[in-house]
């Protein structure tokens, strides 16, 4: 699933208590779910989030890389710009997890390691959202240095169906909305309200969510995997 699983990882950040402790907003939450273009707005928001969690760029365990946007890449080449961790398309997810680690009472150091409490929470939440026992979700290391899940394709559909169902229930002001459903609805709202944070100029995720005006959420994964 790669980055299509980011909404599940963002649920874990919400359930850690980091969102309220560090006063993250919906734009921050959208960036936690992003595979962004490394545009100025994405880099600046990443820096703002680092300030909120009282962390430094050096605490981030993702590296810099060439941007997903050709336009951004051309501008970097012209300026001889050297990308650093805040430029990573996964920067929001990393800062969210730095906050999550602190909210759990764990060290920020090693937040990316499979045996860190933050990743333990991510693994449990992801399995629950897939409706699977923990041992039926396999884990590898993503290109950004974080654990990334593998599970049957229908479980990805199930995850995105829950996002949609939670958003509908929240809009209907369902009084029996669970804490988990409230978190899913919050993520749905953030992604559809700030689609430019989820990807960026000219990117399908952003164009798709703008076009449907909040009625649909979509997120790029890898290897032809896409969540809608």
pLDDT band at 174 (very low <50, low <70, confident <90, very high): confident
Across the chain, the runs of DSSP E, i.e. the strands, are 138-141, 147-150, 219-220, 226-227
The confidence score (pLDDT) of residue 13 equals: 98
Please tell me the distance from the alpha carbon of residue 102 to that of residue 99, in angstroms, as a whole number: 5
Please tell me the distance from the alpha carbon of residue 34 to that of residue 67, in angstroms, as a whole number: 13
Give tens-digit pLDDT for 70-111.
Answer: 999 999 999 999 999 999 999 999 999 999 999 999 999 999
State the average pLDDT over residues 15-43.
98
Residue 119 in this model has a pLDDT that exceeds 90: yes
State the average pLDDT over residues 210-219.
96
Residue 175 in this model has a pLDDT that exceeds 80: no
The confidence score (pLDDT) of residue 64 equals: 94
- CA torsion 148-142-65-25 (nearest 10°) is 10
């Amino acid at each position: 699933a790669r980055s299509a699983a980011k909404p599940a990882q963002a649920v874990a950040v919400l359930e850690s208590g980091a969102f309220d402790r560090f006063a993250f907003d919906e734009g921050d939450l959208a960036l936690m779910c992003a595979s962004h273009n490394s545009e100025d707005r994405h880099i600046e928001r990443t820096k703002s989030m680092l300030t909120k969690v009282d962390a430094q760029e050096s605490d981030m365990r993702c590296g810099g890389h060439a941007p997903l946007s050709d336009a951004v890449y051309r501008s970097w080449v012209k300026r001889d710009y050297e990308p650093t961790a805040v430029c990573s398309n996964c920067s929001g997810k990393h800062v969210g997890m730095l906050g999550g680690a602190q909210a759990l009472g764990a060290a920020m150091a090693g937040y990316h390691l499979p045996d860190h409490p933050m990743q333990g929470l991510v693994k449990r939440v992801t399995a629950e959202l897939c409706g699977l026992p923990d041992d039926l979700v396999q884990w590898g290391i993503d290109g950004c240095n974080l654990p990334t899940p593998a599970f049957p394709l229908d479980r990805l559909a199930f995850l995105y169906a829950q996002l949609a169902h939670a958003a509908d229930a929240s809009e209907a002001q369902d009084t029996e909305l669970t804490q988990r459903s409230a978190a899913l609805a919050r993520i749905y709202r953030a992604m559809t309200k700030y689609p430019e944070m989820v990807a960026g100029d000219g990117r399908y995720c952003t164009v798709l969510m703008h076009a449907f005006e909040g009625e649909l959420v979509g997120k790029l994964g890898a290897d032809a995997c896409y969540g809608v």
